[in-house]
Amino acid sequence: MVQPVLEWQAGTVTAIRPETQQTKSFTLALPKWMVHRPGQHYDVRLSAPDGYQTERSYSIASPPERVGELELTVERIPDGEVSPYLHDVLVPGDQLEVRGPIGGYFVWDVSLGGPLLLIAGGSGVVPLMAMLRHRAAQHSTVPARILYSSRTGGDVIYREELDGLAAGDRAFEAFYTFTRQPPAGWTGYRRRIDAGMLAEVIKPFGQRARVYVCGPTLLVEAVANALVEMELPTAQIRTERFGPTGA
Amino acid sequence: MAGLISRGFLGRRRPAEVENRLPPGQYLVTDFPVLSAGPTPHIPLERWSFTVEGMVRSPVTWTWEEFQKLPTQTFTVDISCVTKWTKLDTKWLGVSVDTLLEAVQLDPAGRYVMAYSDGGYTTNLPLDEMVNGQAFVAYQFDDKPLEPVHGGPARLVVPHLYFWKSAKWIRGLRFMERNQPGFWESLGYHIHGDPWKEERYSGD
């Protein structure tokens, strides 16, 4: 595979949308936009007046069908260096240096087919959302499910959009679980993702499921280990992890 | 793109003695983040082995028990992940690659190495960057057996390159005549991976 050279470019912030109390989506217009594969990320670089620079990686939330634009959804890490800047300082019209797209394994597009099982913990939903937005933009009928673990009802990113996608698409279903405080009247899962929950959600897909897991290390470890125990071929399990850092 | 200043960004400064140890674009962590592309392999030690093969006169394989009898060294090194974190003064116990090479007769044409792991992971390295104390197969971290999420029972540690070169769950080294890309090197990451030159991605 020929890899393009990834150059830094200055994107212009065109919109900032709060998703939850801790997360915001940032839309950038890119002068040298390149098509990406859902699941990939961009590097962001901040530069201080004296030349100090720091970089972080953030997953792409937008589908490749959104030509010329890039949307990054970023969780604010209270003691972080970059995410508080993005949340508290950056405003539309500002410029932000980025380069990408990066990453060639934790990716899915409709050509890979399904059935597709996406498992998210917290802001790990972001790259999976890019996959679902791409799937919808392509009017794909690949069977797809997402199982999404959040602490509380207020922590669910993209809830309305996910429910909207599920309502209009018989081949897609969204499942949620809450580990602390479910929303009022919640009758669904209310525990950490475990083998029993996975067995229920994966059931119609069986051993053919292509699984993408993204979230905190403990969740990803538990889910991937449970899937291996269920004898899902390891080549069908792709993981992306973030620890307590990633600020 | 030099010249763009991020409006209102001052950055988090560290004391110069720390700042000087962070390669460009890296930030300091004190925890130990976990990154991997698939499930963590869990191999029983009685089924573990380590092999040096490829362009050698005859391949050598050690069982776990035999490997434990090889002379060890402790290493305290700084490690840098391409995902931007750097961790200082990590303490490992392991067997130097120099020690492993004493057991084989290398074909002088075998200038490159493919490290390979349980789960199918591979990464390529030049031989001359693995000798003279530059690389080791570690099985203890911080005086404790290396945990599976961090690559246990044993992982390669090559601290002067980005940490994806330090293959987790390593099972062997295969000597090759030509440099061939491993797993991440085939997926857009740099063929060499020197953090001080910021060789993150292909083309850097």
Please tell me the CATH code under which domain B22-32+44-197 is placed: 3.90.420.10
Q: Is the dihedral of CA B85, B86, B87, B93 positive or negative?
A: positive
Please give the structure tokens belonging to residue A184. Answer: 């009022």
Q: Does B15 touch chain A (CB under 8 A)?
A: no
* DSSP-derived secondary structure for A101-132: EE-SSS---GGG---EEEEEEGGGHHHHHHHH
Q: State how many domains chain A has.
A: 2
User: Using a CB-CB distance cutoff of 8 angstroms, which residues of chain B are in contact with residue A3?
Assistant: 188, 201-203
End-to-end CA distance of chain B: 14
The tens digit of pLDDT for each residue in B167-198 reads: 999 999 999 999 999 999 999 999 999 999 99
Residue-level pLDDT at B155: 98
Apex A152 CA angle, A147 and A154, nearest 5: 100
Residue-level pLDDT at A76: 95
Residue-level pLDDT at A136: 98
Q: Does B133 touch chain A (CB under 8 A)?
A: no
Residue from B6, B42, B84, B169 to probe the interface with A (highest A Cβ count within 10 Å): B6
The tens digit of pLDDT for each residue in B110-161 reads: 999 999 999 999 999 999 999 999 999 999 999 999 999 999 999 999 999 9
Residue from A40, A44, A105, A229 to probe the interface with B (highest B Cβ count within 10 Å): A105
CATH number of A83's domain: 2.40.30.10
Residue A2 placed within a domain: no
Q: Scan for tokens 């004190």, then name that residue.
A: B30
Residue A23 placed within a domain: yes
Interface of B with A in 160-189 (CB under 8 A): 183-184, 186-188
Residue from B14, B83, B184 to probe the interface with A (highest A Cβ count within 10 Å): B83
User: Using a CB-CB distance cutoff of 8 angstroms, which residues of chain B are in contact with residue A217?
Assistant: 33-34, 149
Residue A123 placed within a domain: yes
Residue B4: which of A56, A97, A221 has the nearest Cβ?
Answer: A97
Q: Does B83 touch chain A (CB under 8 A)?
A: yes
B59, pLDDT greater than 70: yes
Q: Which runs of consecutive H residues, i.e. helices, occur in chain B?
A: 16-19, 64-68, 97-101
Residue B11: which of A48, A95, A247 has the nearest Cβ?
Answer: A48
B6, pLDDT greater than 90: yes
Residue-level pLDDT at A75: 95
B25 Rama sector, left if φ>0, alpha if ψ -120 to 50, beta otherwise: left
CATH number of A127's domain: 3.40.50.80
Same domain (yes/no): A187, A216 = yes
Residue-level pLDDT at A3: 58
Same domain (yes/no): A86, A159 = no
Same domain (yes/no): A226, A132 = yes
Asked if B38 and A234 come within 8 Å (Cβ–Cβ), the reply is yes
Same domain (yes/no): A193, A77 = no
Instruction: Quote the strand ranges of chain A, DSSP E.
Output: 9-18, 23-29, 41-47, 53-59, 69-75, 95-102, 116-121, 144-152, 172-181, 210-216, 237-242
Task: Show which of A61, A85, A102 is a domain's final residue.
Answer: A102
This prediction has a pTM of 0.94
Cα separation, B84 vs B25, whole angstroms:
7
Asked if B9 and A46 come within 8 Å (Cβ–Cβ), the reply is yes
Residue A229 placed within a domain: yes
Residue A181 placed within a domain: yes
Task: Show which of A48, A75, A102 is a domain's final residue.
Answer: A102
Cα separation, A131 vs A38, whole angstroms:
5
Residue-level pLDDT at A4: 65
Q: Rg (Cα) of chain B, in Å, rounded?
A: 18
**DSSP designation for A235:** G
- Domain of residue A182 covers 110-242
Same domain (yes/no): A49, A168 = no
User: Using a CB-CB distance cutoff of 8 angstroms, which residues of chain B are in contact with residue A53?
Assistant: 11, 24-25
Q: Which runs of consecutive H residues, i.e. helices, occur in A7-96?
A: 83-88
Cα separation, A85 vs A75, whole angstroms:
11
Mind spelling out the 3-state secondary structure of A60-84? Answer: ECCCCCCCCEEEEEEECCCCCCCHH
Residue-level pLDDT at A244: 44
Cα separation, A43 vs A59, whole angstroms:
9
Residue A3 placed within a domain: no
Q: pLDDT (tens digit, 0 to 9) for every residue of chain A, 247 residues total?
A: 455 678 999 999 999 999 999 999 999 999 999 999 999 999 999 999 998 999 999 999 999 999 999 999 999 999 899 999 999 999 999 999 999 999 989 999 999 999 999 999 999 999 999 999 999 999 999 999 999 999 999 999 999 999 999 999 999 999 999 999 999 999 999 999 999 999 999 999 999 999 999 999 999 999 999 999 999 999 999 999 875 443 3
Same domain (yes/no): A157, A115 = yes
Same domain (yes/no): A115, A95 = no
Same domain (yes/no): A114, A203 = yes
Residue among B93, B11, B103 nearest B51 (CA): B103
Task: Show which of A39, A71, A102 is a domain's final residue.
Answer: A102
Q: Does B109 touch chain A (CB under 8 A)?
A: no
pLDDT band at residue B15, thresholds of 50, 70 and 90?
confident
Residue A215 placed within a domain: yes
